[in-house]
Amino acid sequence: MRRFYIVTNRSKDAELKYTYSIIAYLKEHGAEGIYDEDSAAVEGTKYCYTNAEVMPDDVDCIIVLGGDGTLIQAARDLNERNIPLLGVNIGTLGYLTDTDMNNVYDTLNNLIDDKYEVDTRMMLDGKIYRDDKVIYEDVALNDVVLSRRGILRVIDFDIYVNGEYLNSFAADGVIVSTATGSTAYSLSAGGPIVQPNARLIMITPICAHTLTQRSIIFGQDDEIVIQINDNKKLSEERVATYDGESYCNVVTGDRVVITRSDKTARLIKTSRISFLERIRNKM
């Protein structure tokens, strides 16, 4: 690898100290680091640090400086380019990132010398139908979540898998996640931790009004449909969110259809830290 594009979370590197130190190091070692300070963030978005329109075509790797949220944002916004991403943690948790600023220069040496692996992560497509027409669609690396808004106490919904009725739920919502997303919101809602390379779709209800709340795991090629039912007591305030980034308000009768996406996230791995060791250190 010789040509790197850098995405920086400006709230974590406000003065671009880390960004320009990486650019300088790459230059010293015969490589190039590219960062567009003026147009790296999309105008009018407070926490958006990725803009595919300003990224050059001939890039070997995208270096993402931030935390898990910044890496997920880059994986979603830049996935059309199919370029591998290196996550550099300058945040707090950094579960998905491969390295941090204490070790980033060793990592860059490995990339320049082509000593790395690419971990391909499954993503989800989520389409929202109203009157049989798609009103919104997006992709997610972690999860697609249906949740309540405002004063709505519970959401009533049915879930179908491959056209077959699964169950009806009264809950605060439901999380449909990938294996990557098993260590995110799904974990907080009581879902299991899954090896991140596993190809599956997991359903985890959020605070369901039942004595038998459990996550359910399906195959990667299954289709999950969430049918929004009527809530007779309160106003319709529900929302579908994608990785906590993008969202669409939904109403009674809407359907959220979730399937495996043709798009993937390609995460660079140079660290020798195993999946189990990462769980012990980060969870």
The tokens for 2 are 């010789």
Instruction: Identify the active-site residue in 13, 68, 119, 243.
Output: 68
In the DSSP assignment, the letter for residue 230 is P
Distance CA 76, CA 114 (A): 25
- Catalytic residue list contains 13: no
Question: Residue type at 36?
Answer: D
Question: Residue type at 2?
Answer: R
The predicted structure's pLDDT at residue 44: 47
Instruction: Return all residues near 114 (Cβ < 8 A) that are at least 6 apart.
Output: 1
Distance CA 41, CA 52 (A): 10
The answer to whether 174 and 226 are in contact (CB under 8 A) is yes
The predicted structure's pLDDT at residue 234: 54
pLDDT per residue, tens digit, the chain (283 aa), is 999 999 999 999 989 999 999 999 999 999 999 998 765 555 445 567 888 888 888 999 999 999 999 999 999 999 989 999 999 999 777 889 999 999 999 999 999 999 999 999 999 999 999 999 999 999 999 999 999 887 767 899 999 999 999 999 999 999 999 999 999 999 999 999 999 999 999 999 999 988 778 999 999 999 999 999 987 655 567 999 999 999 999 999 999 999 999 999 999 999 888 888 888 887 7
- Domains, the chain, ordered by start: 3-115 (3.40.50.10330), 123-262 (2.60.200.30)
The predicted structure's pLDDT at residue 170: 92
**CA-based nearest residue to 177, from 138, 238, 218:** 218
In the DSSP assignment, the letter for residue 244 is T
Q: What angle do CA 157, 158, 159 make, to 5 degrees?
A: 125
Q: What is the dihedral of CA 134, 139, 143, 148, to 10 degrees?
A: -40
